[in-house]
């Protein structure tokens, strides 16, 4: 066959795979190129490994509930290497699933580096060093992201990023986590539940600043109950290795403090992975925040699109996939999958979880919208009580009687948010939502009071 394609995708993460499979379903000839691992950051260093570890730590913590159910478990302990084995198996399964999905869609997949030479040319450099010039009608950039590094701080075996932490082979006695974003909060949850003494440091005045304020404050209290020392409004001055671990200097309320622990984890965010030489040569506009794209995910160069973490914003696998689908629909004349950031749900996989879609009450008021917020507590739900889910709540934000946002704090929030995400995307009114029949008894009945 000729080495001419309808679409070449550079990057095999969630966005790249979605674009490739969607285009292949439209009977287009597609090539996807990946140099590090099929499934991208999500499968290898993000979503999958962290959620595998969170499932382990949660299972260990929930043993403490069993006595209330009349089940007695004695002699429990943590085998961290066994947990890592479970994590690695899930990563392997995710990567294999990514490859199978591409194969089933009849997408050509090649390992190597894809260098974009022009809007219709990509040079494939295989792991062997052999190169091949490929022609295409469209290109999608899905380079992903990389950990954000702090100036003057050197990473090491004791000072790690969210990538490096996955190489840990033993549980440390203590850990300082720098950054109260969802990555920092999730890792704080894992290690605290496994018995590690965790210190969480955040520069801003609260953790999870993009989330609902009440939910973030509630979660701060829950983290404290786990034994996590949460320090907000705290500025990092220096972080260095010591003989026994790490020592960190911080400034809080105009006072300098010293913190010591066994190791440190930097969770100060991720940056779009930008190959600036290629972007500059091609004339594609970008900034530190990411590649500039329009509503159809096209860059400033016609025929070249970008999707996922490389565009900045919320770095979420399902967001990348949605952007990619929108880009392919635009390439081939469709109009039904235009991307809307307000319809992308986000989840913090802490214990309890926080899930959100659309507007928070705080954001709506800042934008001058008149809103009504209705709240329903977990304590009023019989399944939440029966299964000892603890405290939690769901809130819905209405503007002109239409639901424009929702937040859930509590067990299974990640699964529950999907229904509300559909409602927000469909811009349903309360009258329409009242026709939603929810089975009894279920946790999802927590939604009923929201609609009146």
| Helical spans, DSSP H, in 106-253 | 182-193, 213-225
CA distances from 62 to 76, 392, 403 (A): 12, 17, 35
| Cα–Cα distance, 422 to 406 (Å, whole number) | 11
**Nearest to 305, CA basis, from 93, 5, 9, 1:** 9
Q: What is the largest CA-CA distance in the chain?
A: 69
Dihedral sign, CA of 216, 443, 390, 83? negative
In eight-state DSSP terms, residue 298 is: B
21-35 burial: b if 16+ Cβ within 10 Å, else e? bbbbeeebbbbbbbb
Q: Strand ranges (DSSP E) for 61-130?
A: 108-111, 113-118, 121-125
Q: 148 exposed, middle or buried (CB, 10 Å; 0-12, 13-18, 19+)? A: middle
The answer to whether the beta carbons of residues 122 and 33 sit under 8 Å apart is: yes
Mark whether 440 is an active-site residue: yes
Residue 180: Cβ within 10 Å count? 28
Comparing C-alpha atoms, which of 100, 119, 45, 94 is closest to residue 306? Answer: 119
CB atoms within 10 A of CB 338: 14
How many Å apart are CA 159 and CA 66, to the nearest integer?
37
Q: Are 253 and 148 in contact (CB under 8 A)?
A: no
In 46-144, beta strands by DSSP E? 108-111, 113-118, 121-125, 131-141
User: Rg of the chain's alpha carbons, rounded to an integer?
Assistant: 23
Identify which of 193, 210, 442 has the alpha carbon closest to the alpha carbon of residue 344.
210
Omega before residue 441 within 30° of 0, cis: yes
Q: Is the dihedral of CA 308, 312, 317, 321 positive or negative?
A: negative
Residues designated catalytic: 440
């Amino acid at each position: 066959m000729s080495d001419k394609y309808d679409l070449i995708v550079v990057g095999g993460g969630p966005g790249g795979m979605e674009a490739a499979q969607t285009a292949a379903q439209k009977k287009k000839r597609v090539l996807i190129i990946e140099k590090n691992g099929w499934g991208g950051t999500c499968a290898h260093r993000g979503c999958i490994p962290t959620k595998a570890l969170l499932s382990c730590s949660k299972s260990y913590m929930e043993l403490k509930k069993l006595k209330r159910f009349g089940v007695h478990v004695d002699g429990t302990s943590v085998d961290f290497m066994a947990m890592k084995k479970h994590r690695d198996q899930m990563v392997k399964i995710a990567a294999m699933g990514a490859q199978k999905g591409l194969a089933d869609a009849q997408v050509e997949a090649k390992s190597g580096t894809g260098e974009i030479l022009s809007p219709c040319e990509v040079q494939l450099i295989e792991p062997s060093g052999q190169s091949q010039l490929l022609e295409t009608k469209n290109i999608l950039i899905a380079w992903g992201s990389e950990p954000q590094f702090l100036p003057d701080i050197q990473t090491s075996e004791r000072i790690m990023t969210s990538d490096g932490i996955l190489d840990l082979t033993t549980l440390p006695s203590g850990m300082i986590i720098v950054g109260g974003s969802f990555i920092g909060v999730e890792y704080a949850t894992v290690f605290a539940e496994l018995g590690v003494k965790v210190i969480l440091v955040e520069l801003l005045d609260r953790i999870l600043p993009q989330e609902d304020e009440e939910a973030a404050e509630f979660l701060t209290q829950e983290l404290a109950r786990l034994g996590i020392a949460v320090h907000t409004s705290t500025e990092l001055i220096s972080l260095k290795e010591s003989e026994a671990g790490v020592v960190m200097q911080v400034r809080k309320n105009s006072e300098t403090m010293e913190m010591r622990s066994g190791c440190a984890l930097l969770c100060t965010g991720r940056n779009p992975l930008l190959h600036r030489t290629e972007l500059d040569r091609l004339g594609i506009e970008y900034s530190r925040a990411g590649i500039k794209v329009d509503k159809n995910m096209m860059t400033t160069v016609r025929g070249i699109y970008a999707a996922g973490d490389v565009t900045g914003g919320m770095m979420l696998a399902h967001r990348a996939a949605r952007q990619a689908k929108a880009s392919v629909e635009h390439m081939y004349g469709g109009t039904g999958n235009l991307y809307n950031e307000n319809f992308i749900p986000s989840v913090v996989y802490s214990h309890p979880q926080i899930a959100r879609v659309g507007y928070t009450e705080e954001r709506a008021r800042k934008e001058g919208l008149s809103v009504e917020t209705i709240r329903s507590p977990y304590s009023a739900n019989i399944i939440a009580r029966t299964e000892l889910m603890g405290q939690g709540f769901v809130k819905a934000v209405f503007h002109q009687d239409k639901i424009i946002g929702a937040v859930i704090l509590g067990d299974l929030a990640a699964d529950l948010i999907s229904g509300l995400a559909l409602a927000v995307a469909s811009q349903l009114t309360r009258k329409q939502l009242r026709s939603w029949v929810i089975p009894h008894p279920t946790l999802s009945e927590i939604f009923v009071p929201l609609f009146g």
